Amino acid sequence: MATVKVVILKEKKRSDDTWNVKIRIIHEKKVSYMATSHYVSIDSINKKTFELKERNNPVYDQVMVDVLKIRSELSAMGHQIDYYTAQGLVKLMKDKLSGKPDGINFFDFAEDHTQKLINEGKRLSQSYCAMLSRLKEFVGSRNLMFSDITSNFLFNFDAFLRASDSKHGFGKISSSGVRLYIGKIQHLFNLAKIKYNDEDAGIIRIANNPFQKYKLPKVNEIKKKALSADDIRKIKEFEVPLNMKGTLVARDVFIMSFLLCGMNTVDMYFLKPEIDGRFEYERRKTSGRRDDKAFISIKIEPELRPYINRYRDEVGDRAFNFFMRYSSDKQFVSKVNGNLKYIGDALGIENLTLYAARHSFATIARNDCGISMDDVAMSLNHKSGHNITDIYIKKDWERIDNVNRKVIDYVFGMKEKAGE
């Protein structure tokens, strides 16, 4: 247990023959001092012990008020005091005596971090916004300190989430959703500790770690069924009723994705016009996490041309006019997947989404065309496991061209002309 005492350091005499009254804290056999606003002359000091006189001494009475408050605060810390050095306790007690607010507001920190992601154009910000919305609903206010987030708090929030409707309105939030939301809280906890704690100086403003007891739920890997070449052809040839324009777009976007090595909707939505017969872009999902910005270059094969002509942005700002048809990339993927479900039900393909185009492209490339895992990964724009080597070797986009051509030939036949 830390000890607290009023002291005067004899050797610290000032030029005006006074001494500063200090509060000494001893913790784990280490000593640290807190200066007060009080200065006394030799008349207020016991000459034998060189301690502050107690009787009829208003300075002593005032300093003891702070000492008693510090002792009370240290006692209330319980085992958390073990995280602090003597110097750290002095800093903490200074903040207590100065009236600074206790703790750090979680929502303030989380919203600052989220705004930075928004300013940087990071789509990850959407996940943080969703988490904050659910958390505010659970807490009922913005009054939430990091110290309030205990393991019991997380267990209760976990239960609250599982009882809440999913954002799509189909069923309750799953274990993967709980992991997404509370995983964001864990990440923010780690960032805040890096910012506010200084273990070397013994300054620990966020001492609690609720994730020692609460563990993020494990999510069993979902077995995604890749579509066969026959399924892909059926989707391409599916006859859409004339009054279902959204379904027509969904069918075409699925095939376009397949013809572009599994390109996703957000990249298709923002894609720039072709350059010398190629589409070149940085994959938005991972560009912020990779040194190469997740750049990829894909050759435009003949089968894709009719789709380019059908959905071309005539203004020339982007490759396709989807941004004119849909207000956002989120609405784009939502509408496409909703209409793909209709196509899937009609064709007997369960839970058809655009992701199936990407997953099927990779599976057919590897299992049916015998393409190496490295080349499949490169075609999907996945990060290579050969980090050091990649620094020195320039990427050969022809490898992706060869993969794409083999898959297209396998599924649609040699040099088929799309639309026939």
CATH no., domain 229-412: 1.10.443
DSSP per position, 264-282: -HHHHHHPPPPBTTEEEEE
Q: Which two tokens stand for residue 86?
A: 């003597």
pLDDT computed for residue 383 by the predictor? 65
Closest CA to 248 of 344, 358, 336: 336
The pTM of this model reads: 0.55
What does the pLDDT average to over 125-152?
91
Contact between 418 and 258 (Cβ < 8 Å): no
Q: Please give the mean pLDDT across all residues of the chain.
A: 87
pLDDT computed for residue 395 by the predictor? 65
**Is it the case that residue 337 has pLDDT exceeding 70?**
yes
pLDDT computed for residue 84 by the predictor? 81
> Where in the chain are the domains?
3-98, 106-212, 229-412
SS3 content of the chain, % helix, strand, coil (to 5): 55, 10, 35
pLDDT computed for residue 419 by the predictor? 42
Torsion (CA) 348, 354, 355, 358 in degrees, nearest 10:
100
CA distances from 184 to 63, 126, 144, 194, 247 (A): 44, 11, 16, 16, 35
CA distances from 306 to 89, 237, 274 (A): 71, 14, 14
**Is it the case that residue 305 has pLDDT exceeding 60?**
yes
pLDDT computed for residue 390 by the predictor? 46
DSSP per position, 183-239: HHHHHHHHHHHHHH-BGGGTB-S----GGGT--PPP-PPP-PPPPPHHHHHHHHHPP
Q: Which pLDDT band holds residue 230 (cuts at 50, 70, 90)?
A: very high
Contact between 201 and 220 (Cβ < 8 Å): no
Tell me the pLDDT tens digit for each residue of 99-137: 665 568 899 999 999 999 888 877 788 899 999 999 999
Those residues whose C-beta lies under 8 Å from the C-beta of residue 285, and which sit 6 or more positions away, are: 123, 264, 266, 294
Sign of CA dihedral 413, 414, 418, 420: negative
Specify the range with the lowest mean pLDDT, choosing from 131-140, 225-234, 292-301. Answer: 292-301
Helices (DSSP H) in 295-414: which residue ranges?
A: 305-310, 322-325, 329-347, 355-363, 373-379, 387-392, 397-412
Tell me the pLDDT tens digit for each residue of 170-217: 678 889 899 999 999 999 999 999 988 887 776 778 888 899 999 999
**Is it the case that residue 221 has pLDDT exceeding 60?**
no
